[in-house]
Amino acid sequence: MGNLFCSEYRIHRRFDLKGSSYGRSADKPEEEIDETTTLKDMDLNFVFRIQRNRFQELVKQIDQDCEFLEAERIMDYSLLVGLHFRDDNRGDKMGLSPFLLRTGKDGSYQNEKLMRGCRFLEAELQDMDRILAGQKPLIRLGANMPARAVRMARRSDFDQYTHGGAGHSSYNGEVCEVVLYFGIIDILQDYDISKKIEHAYKSLQADPTSISAVDPKHYSKRFRDFIGRIFISDRMPIAASVGGNANGSNS
């Protein structure tokens, strides 16, 4: 966790996500949750929209990692996600705008979408300049990744991620600009006899598909399905109009 969140940005919220629901809550009242609280699947109330090419890179990497872990009979791993909410008071090292909050009550949607597209494009161009200069890129998969966090209508509604997909769920209209840090952690647990016993015992108390201790193949599929619902491809028409083709494939 310390290595993943080693950043100049302050991590405001952190989530440990497995794609399961049984016992997957921090069990803390809202007023006691702070930046040091590790939240879990049932506490998640965001869907993350990331730029299309980075979304494709994420899906490909998650698939490769899960295939490897499944082949090694590993399960019970998590995706650790850290969120930095952008605000007006902190310096911007990536050329992106400050924190934005949209209520959907005004008519500025098109202008706002245009501005967001410009900011993502600006960050991409800055990254390209650094790469050409032989420097480390500012934005990488799982580090310094700009995104839009769309707040879900109801907190702790795990079903919105697992039945029908987050893309079909209702939002409360709030959109926050964030910087994401994430990576797969806890990759040393194999599906041994203790985990098989845990699965059998918890299956008597809850839906077997909702518990964390399941066989590696089922775990891998459930994990990938869950990640594919909380991360969504964000299309940016402005990028296509500046440097892409007519169908927006570079957006």
Per CATH, domain 13-237 is 3.90.470.10 = no
- Taking a C-beta distance cutoff of 8 angstroms, is the pair 54, 141 a contact? yes
pLDDT band at 231 (very low <50, low <70, confident <90, very high): very high
- Taking a C-beta distance cutoff of 8 angstroms, is the pair 120, 239 a contact? yes
Task: Select from 124, 170, 239, 179 the least CA-distant residue to 7.
Answer: 179
pLDDT tens digits along 121-162: 555 556 555 556 666 657 788 888 889 999 886 544 455 555
The mean pLDDT value of the chain amounts to 74
d(CA 212, CA 86): 33
Q: Where are the alpha helices (DSSP H) in 147-245?
A: 159-162, 193-203, 216-230, 237-243
Q: Does residue 33 surpass a pLDDT of 50?
A: yes
101: DSSP letter: B
Listed ranges 20-34, 95-109, 120-134; the one with the highest mean pLDDT: 20-34
User: Using a CB cutoff of 8 Å and minimum separation of 24, what contacts does 8-11 make?
Assistant: 8/93, 9/84, 9/144, 9/179, 9/181, 10/35, 10/84, 10/90, 11/35, 11/82, 11/83, 11/84, 11/181
Single-letter code of the amino acid located at 97: S
What pTM was estimated for this model as a whole?
A: 0.70
Q: CA 97 → CA 63, 81, 101, distances in Å? A: 32, 22, 12
Is the Cα torsion angle 145, 150, 151, 155 positive or negative in sign? negative
The domain segmentation of the chain, as residue ranges, is 13-237
Task: Select from 142, 166, 169 the least CA-distant residue to 83.
Answer: 142
List beta partners, residue 146: 179
User: Using a CB cutoff of 8 Å and minimum separation of 24, what contacts does 107-110 make?
Assistant: none
pLDDT tens digits along 70-98: 999 999 999 999 999 986 443 343 333 44
